């Protein structure tokens, strides 16, 4: 059974291994902005501004948005996945 878009937005997951959930070819900013655009309905500029807010909320520098997952420590990658999970303003986050 497929979930409708509202269900995708309401429930997000953070997996234990960030290495398998972050695309190593994309920068962190792009990884986090995708759910902002698709689930929260933000435009490109608003999503880019919100990425900085999300990164700061998990104690990562704004400059992290320009880095790839490989350049981050394991803990930083985990925090980036947490920021991505909260990007769509979910009702429930499963860790």
Domain boundaries, the chain: 5-94
Low-confidence ranges of the chain (pLDDT < 70): 1-6, 8
The single-letter DSSP state of residue 95 is: -
CATH class of 5-94: alpha beta
Task: Answer for the pair 32, 51: CB distance below 8 angstroms, yes or no.
Answer: yes
* C-alpha–C-alpha distance, residues 65 and 2, integer Å: 31
Q: What is the per-residue pLDDT across 4-18, written as a single tens digit (0 to 9) for each?
A: 656 767 888 888 888
Look at residue 6 in the predicted model and tell me its pLDDT: 62
Look at residue 1 in the predicted model and tell me its pLDDT: 56
pTM score, whole prediction? 0.86
């Amino acid at each position: 059974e497929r979930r409708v878009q509202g269900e995708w937005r309401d429930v997000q997951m953070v997996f234990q291994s960030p290495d398998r959930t972050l695309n190593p070819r994309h920068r962190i900013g792009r990884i986090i902005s995708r759910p902002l655009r698709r689930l929260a309905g933000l435009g490109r500029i608003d999503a880019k501004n919100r990425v900085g807010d999300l990164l700061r909320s998990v104690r990562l520098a704004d400059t992290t948005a320009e880095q790839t997952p490989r350049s981050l420590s394991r803990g930083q990658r985990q925090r980036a996945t947490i920021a991505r999970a909260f990007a769509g303003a979910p009702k429930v986050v499963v860790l």
